[in-house]
Amino acid sequence: MSERPTIEQYQKFIQERDFHVFRCKKCGAMIAPPKGVCYSCGSNELEWAKVSGRGKLISFTVIHVAPEQFKDEAPYFVGIVELEEGTRVTARLLGLDPDQPEKVQLGMPLRLDYETGQTGRMYLGFRPA
Amino acid sequence: MPLRETHIVSGAQTKFGKLEGITLREMFAEAVDKATVDAGIAKEDIQAAFIGTFIPEMLVHQGHTAPLLVDYAGLRGLPATRHEAACASGATALRAGIMAIESGLYDTVLVAAAEKMTSVSTNKATEALAAAADDEFESSMGLTFPGVFAIAAVAHMQKYGTTEEDMALVAVKAHKNAAKNPLAQFQKEITLEKAMTPRYVAWPLKLFDCSPISDGAAAVVLTNREKAKKYTDTPIRIVGTGQASASMNLCDRTELTSFEGSVRAARIAYEMAGLTPKDIDVAVVHDCFTIAEIIATEDLGFFKPGEGAKAVREGVTAMDGDMPINPMGGLKAVGHPVGATGVKQAVVIYRELIGEAGANQVPNHDVGLMHNFGGTGATCVVNIMRRADA
Ligand SMILES: [Zn+2]
């Protein structure tokens, strides 16, 4: 896996439940979702890296009115998760009650998981650790 | 250095709302006619047109809108270019017009914008709007626009104690102002209780926290310092303009309780104008969702971070408050025909500053500011204007 990382492969890793992020070869910064350059140092030399899967909740919402293709999944959580490695991703939040969003604590520890949507598509997900 | 040349000498909008039986080009032509011939400005004087539309390709199956629209409005032959920046399309078209005048390339130009959204189903319109977010990494996960602003709201609530009721009060104010605005989509006051109706769109945002789907058009005529007095006794000078971009993805923002594009665009505009937030008498901000107004008033420096909600509670942002925000009703109650909004905001500031805002006139009106925001805040434009005699 020394080839230049691509978005297509990033998405494929998620579909295969094997989340990988981009890593800057120069400064080691972890980058997800993908960018063409490293915003920490400006380098465009990037490679694949695995992450611990540990993170914390930064903020979230519960989608009630969903676009057509997600309608049958609503209500569902979408959150911003900060990975232990520093970068933040947008992901589905799993194992929480969408009828009691006020009980969800920002900052709570989460662990990487995946969720299969109604269409068979795999979402990047996180659940309470 | 403040901009010297660009003056707004007329501005008009169509009614906003569900405009049955009127197509995109017809509403565009109506706004153009109101801003030109009806204002005593001959169309022959217009040398170029800068057009804002967001996504007519999906909404009315029409691309290449700039020549199409100016042709219908009787301006065939002019250089006409479309500017697209989601909900900030109108303001980016306006900036192109400002640059055209400041450069001296043209003396007089038209900036006009329109969007027809209600001819497709709400589902289809929602899908079109979603194209303003990052499809690859956020929309494809089921994150919607209300969802984006809901995530910002949750962060703001946690950090500053802002409440759902604070957000509802923004909606109550918007409807109160729009009730007096004959061009508004919703000309009806609502109670706090109604604004709090728990019909969640994206928790904690409810139905009344969201701006509606609308049709509408707006237009302004810009001209240089020399020509301005030829058209009106009350030209409005654009003294500062700022634009910035930010990440499309919310997860790439270090701060969720503030929109960095707004902060950056505002800083540029204030510096250019040589003014500070204290100098602003009246502002229109991009209230696509109630929380967006609260955050914008903080990002623009009217209130300290975290104190935007308090200002709403205390009536500071009301039409007769110390810092009137969206005195005609904002996107929330006047409507949000996406591409047209930025130009409509300029029309509102123009009318307020010349003292012709009717029942929505604010008492102090020397200096005004408009803040137009694209999509998730990935584009932001801030323009500062003042009466040429002020
Ligand atoms: Zn780096």
Long-range CB pairs of B195-199 (<8 Å, 24+ gap) are B195/B168, B195/B169, B195/B171, B196/B164, B196/B165, B196/B168
pLDDT for position A60: 98
Confidence of residue B299 (pLDDT cuts 50, 70, 90): very high
Closest CA to B293 of B152, B192, B191: B152
In the predicted model, what is the mean pLDDT of residues B19-24? 97
Q: What is the bridge-based pairing of β-strands A109-116 and A54-63?
A: antiparallel
Confidence of residue B127 (pLDDT cuts 50, 70, 90): confident
pLDDT for position A119: 85
pLDDT at B145 over 90: yes
Q: Taking CB atoms and an 8 Å cut-off, how many pairs form between chains A and B?
A: 97
pLDDT for position B233: 95
pLDDT at B316 over 90: yes
Whether A77 and A95 share a structural domain: yes
- Chain A hits for B142, Cβ within 8 Å: 63, 66-67, 70, 73, 76, 78, 92, 117, 123
Burial pattern B53-90, b for ≥16 Cβ within 10 A else e, equals bbbbebbbebeebbbbbbebbebeebebebbbbbbbbb
How far is the C-alpha of B386 from the C-alpha of B280, rounded, in Å?
A: 9
pLDDT at A15 over 70: yes
Structure tokens at B174: 């918007």
pLDDT at B207 over 80: yes
pLDDT at B321 over 60: yes
pLDDT tens string B31-75: 999 999 999 999 999 999 999 999 999 999 999 999 999 999 999
Give the residue numbers spanning the domain of A38.
Answer: 7-50
Of A67, A80, A89, the CB nearest to B144: A67
Whether A61 and A104 share a structural domain: yes
- Chain B hits for A11, Cβ within 8 Å: 136
Whether A59 and A122 share a structural domain: yes
In the predicted model, what is the mean pLDDT of residues A107-118? 96
Whether A72 and A106 share a structural domain: yes
Find the A31 Cα to ligand 1 centroid distance in Å: 9
Which of A21, A35, A63, A77 would best serve as a mutation to test chain B binding (most B beta carbons within 10 A)? A63
**Contact at 8 Å (CB) between B18 and B118?**
yes
Residue of B nearest to A71 (CA): B142
CATH at residue A72: 2.40.50
Whether A66 and A120 share a structural domain: yes
A83 is a domain residue: yes
pLDDT for position B184: 98
Work out the mean pLDDT of chain B and round it to a whole number: 97
Report percent pLDDT > 70 for chain B: 100
- Per the structure, how many domains does chain A have? 2
Beta strands in chain B (DSSP E): 7-13, 48-52, 80-83, 108-115, 200-203, 205-206, 216-223, 236-245, 282-284, 367-374, 379-387
pLDDT tens string B153-191: 999 999 999 999 999 999 999 999 999 999 999 999 999
pLDDT tens string B94-125: 999 999 999 999 999 999 999 999 999 988 89
A22 is a domain residue: yes
User: Across chain A, how many H-helices and E-strands are there?
Assistant: 1, 8
Of B127, B141, B205, the CB nearest to A90: B141
- Chain B hits for A105, Cβ within 8 Å: none
In the predicted model, what is the mean pLDDT of residues B230-256? 97
pLDDT for position B126: 86
Confidence of residue A21 (pLDDT cuts 50, 70, 90): very high
pLDDT for position B389: 87
Q: Which CATH number applies to B1-390? A: 3.40.47.10
Whether A46 and A59 share a structural domain: no
pTM of the model: 0.98
Smallest Cα distance from B200 to chain A, Å: 6
- Chain B hits for A73, Cβ within 8 Å: 142
Smallest Cα distance from B166 to chain A, Å: 17
Find the B350 Cα to ligand 1 centroid distance in Å: 47
pLDDT for position A2: 57
Find the A5 Cα to ligand 1 centroid distance in Å: 15
Whether A75 and A107 share a structural domain: yes
A92 is a domain residue: yes
pLDDT at A112 over 90: yes
Whether A46 and A62 share a structural domain: no
Q: In this complex, do B144 and A33 lie within 8 Å of one another by their Cβ atoms?
A: no
A2 is a domain residue: no
Quick one: CA dihedral B190, B318, B358, B35, positive or negative?
A: negative
Residues 6 or more apart in contact with residue B22 via CB below 8 angstroms: B30, B215
ipTM surpassing 0.85: yes
Report percent pLDDT > 90 for chain A: 92
A1 is a domain residue: no
Q: In this complex, do B251 and A78 lie within 8 Å of one another by their Cβ atoms?
A: no
pLDDT tens string A50-94: 999 999 999 999 999 998 889 999 999 999 999 999 999 999 999
**Contact at 8 Å (CB) between B173 and B164?**
no
Whether A58 and A119 share a structural domain: yes
Residue of B nearest to A115 (CA): B141
pLDDT for position A1: 52
Smallest Cα distance from B249 to chain A, Å: 8
In the predicted model, what is the mean pLDDT of residues B203-208? 98
- Chain B hits for A70, Cβ within 8 Å: 142
